[in-house]
Amino acid sequence: NAGVTQTPKFQVLKTGQSMTLQCAQDMNHNSMYWYRQDPGMGLRLIYYSASEGTTDKGEVPNGYNVSRLNKREFSLRLESAAPSQTSVYFCASSALAGTENSPLHFGNGTRLTVT
Amino acid sequence: EDQVTQSPEALRLQEGESSSLNCSYTVSGLRGLFWYRQDPGKGPEFLFTLYSAGEEKEKERLKATLTKKESFLHITAPKPEDSATYLCAVPLRSGSARQLTFGSGTQLTVLP
């Protein structure tokens, strides 16, 4: 049982390049999330999808787009990468949205460097 | 402004030396407080959820407690394998889903 799988694990981009981070979960969860983690700033929510077919902005959505491809998959796209987007990106899922008794399950992250 | 603050930023303990990590929050209408453990190069792993002041939860050498303004993660007789970053988070209701606001974490090192 893999849980939440993220690809790639590492990526280096040049400023202005685009890329898509992939995330898949095999727990039949309804909700999926994208966070970024930066030193001293904690995890910050970029976008989330409460259920298949819906997406919504989080705290730091600028410069990103998302697609909930199906119930299992939620991708994050950087259209024109900037050095400020250098970070570790985590995908997470939870069984239910909007309820507190539904902890997040995280993948192991994508480490992105933009030069 | 709703926020979550963790202290200390880093903590070094000798094996067997008990201590506590602090998570203070300013959130109106708390709807749960979450503790996670994060190992280097890994994603956070869920530990506990606390819902009301006075509640306590335990897992092995860890015990989490909650008051109206803060939560403590007590570590009793820690072992080197307890070394990790411990994160707390509170949910802020937004739109159709809960958005967790995370603290910046306490990096715990337990020396043998």
DSSP secondary structure string for all residues of A11-77: EEE-TT--EEEEEEE-S--SEEEEEEEETTTEEEEEEEESSTT--EE-S--TTEEEEE-SSSBEEEE
Omega of the bond leading into B40 within 30 degrees of 0 (cis): no
Q: What is the pLDDT of residues B20-77, one digit of tens each?
A: 999 999 877 778 899 999 999 999 999 999 999 999 999 999 999 999 999 999 999 9
A16-29: b (≥16 Cβ within 10 Å) or e: eeeeebebbbeeeb
Q: How far is A61 from chain B (nearest CA, A)?
A: 13
Q: In this model, does residue A1 exceed pLDDT 90?
A: no
Q: What is the pLDDT of residues A26-60, one digit of tens each?
A: 999 999 999 999 987 889 999 999 889 999 998 89
Cα(A106)–Cα(A43) distance, integer angstroms: 12
Q: Which residue has the higher pLDDT, A100 or A115?
A: A115
Closest CA to A26 of A108, A112, A84, A105: A105
| Predicted pLDDT at B107 | 96
Q: Which two tokens stand for residue B82?
A: 């307890």
Average pLDDT over residues A85-105: 85
Q: Are B89 and A43 in contact (CB < 8 Å)?
A: yes
Q: What is the pLDDT of residues B1-23, one digit of tens each?
A: 678 899 999 999 999 999 999 99
Residue of chain A whose alpha carbon sits nearest to that of B40:
A108
Cα(B57)–Cα(A63) distance, integer angstroms: 40
Long-range contacts of A63-70 (CB under 8 A, 24+ apart): A64/A34, A66/A34, A68/A32
Closest CA to A62 of A36, A41, A88: A36
B42 contacts in A (CB within 8 Å)?
108-109
Binding-site residues on chain B for chain A (CB distance < 8 A)? 4, 31-32, 34, 41-46, 49, 51, 87, 89, 91, 93-100, 102-105
| Predicted pLDDT at A82 | 97
Q: Are B95 and A50 in contact (CB < 8 Å)?
A: yes
Binding-site residues on chain A for chain B (CB distance < 8 A)? 4, 31, 40-45, 48, 50-51, 54, 56, 58-59, 90, 92, 97-101, 103-109
Q: Are B104 and A40 in contact (CB < 8 Å)?
A: yes
Q: In this model, does residue B96 exceed pLDDT 60?
A: no
Q: Are B98 and A98 in contact (CB < 8 Å)?
A: yes
Does residue B25 contact residue B87 with C-beta atoms inside 8 Å? no
| Predicted pLDDT at A64 | 97
| Predicted pLDDT at B104 | 93
Q: How far is A98 from chain B (nearest CA, A)?
A: 4
| Predicted pLDDT at B26 | 87
| Predicted pLDDT at A83 | 97
